[in-house]
Amino acid sequence: MDLILLLVSAILIVLGVIGSFLPILPGPLTSWIGFLLFHLRSDIAMNWTFLSITLFFALLIWLLDYIIPILGTKRFGGSKAGMIGTTIGLIIGLIFPIPFGIILGPFLGALIGELVYNADTQTAIKAAFGSLLGFITSTFLKFVVAMIYLGLFIGKLFEFSKNIF
């Protein structure tokens, strides 16, 4: 059973890194579940402090993943209509994950929201670009946290190598 927990936790950690780019998987949260399974092994001491801190950051990044594109829209001159459009586009991009749906959804949502609210095309494109930049920023943050979690997992493997192997 311990071997299965080790393999599944390693797979989840790697899926967390992949999930930082795929909208279907919540990257750092997937990695955290890998940490939890790793600590459920009978030969590994449960470290609640480690699990609590990593869960906090995984949840924070998960929340920021939805907030940052909205903030990017606002930062680049978008109005409330652009932020609402970004949110609607993000939801539609999640529901219909056509290639690049998660990228195009917020961008097009902000663009359409701004065009409906304000006839100025240049402002609408700028706000939509802010949404895209916000998405890229949140993806980068997810990737960095997932890579840190991968490094922590490898460190835990070395720390408990006498018990595991």
Q: Output the 3-class SS for 103-147.
A: HHHHHHHHHHHHHHHCCCHHHHHHHHHHHHHHHHHHHHHHHHHHH
**Average predicted confidence (pLDDT) for the chain:** 86
12 CB neighbour count, 10 Å cutoff: 23
- Residue 30's contacts (CB-CB under 8 Å, 6 or more residues apart) are 12, 15, 16, 19
> In this prediction, what percent of the chain has a pLDDT beyond 90?
33
16-47: pLDDT as tens digits: 999 887 767 788 999 999 999 998 988 887 88
Global pTM reads 0.79
The string of DSSP letters for 64-109 reads: HHHHHHHHHHHHTT--HHHHHHHHHHHHHHHHS--TTHHHHHHHHH
Total domains in the chain come to 1
For residue 82, the enclosing domain spans 2-164
Coil vs helix vs strand at 41? coil
Helices 48-75 and 121-159 cross at an angle (nearest 10°) of 170
In this predicted structure, what is the pLDDT of residue 97? 67
Which of 51-55, 78-82, 119-123 holds the top average pLDDT?
Answer: 51-55
Which of 61-70, 71-80, 117-126 holds the top average pLDDT?
Answer: 61-70
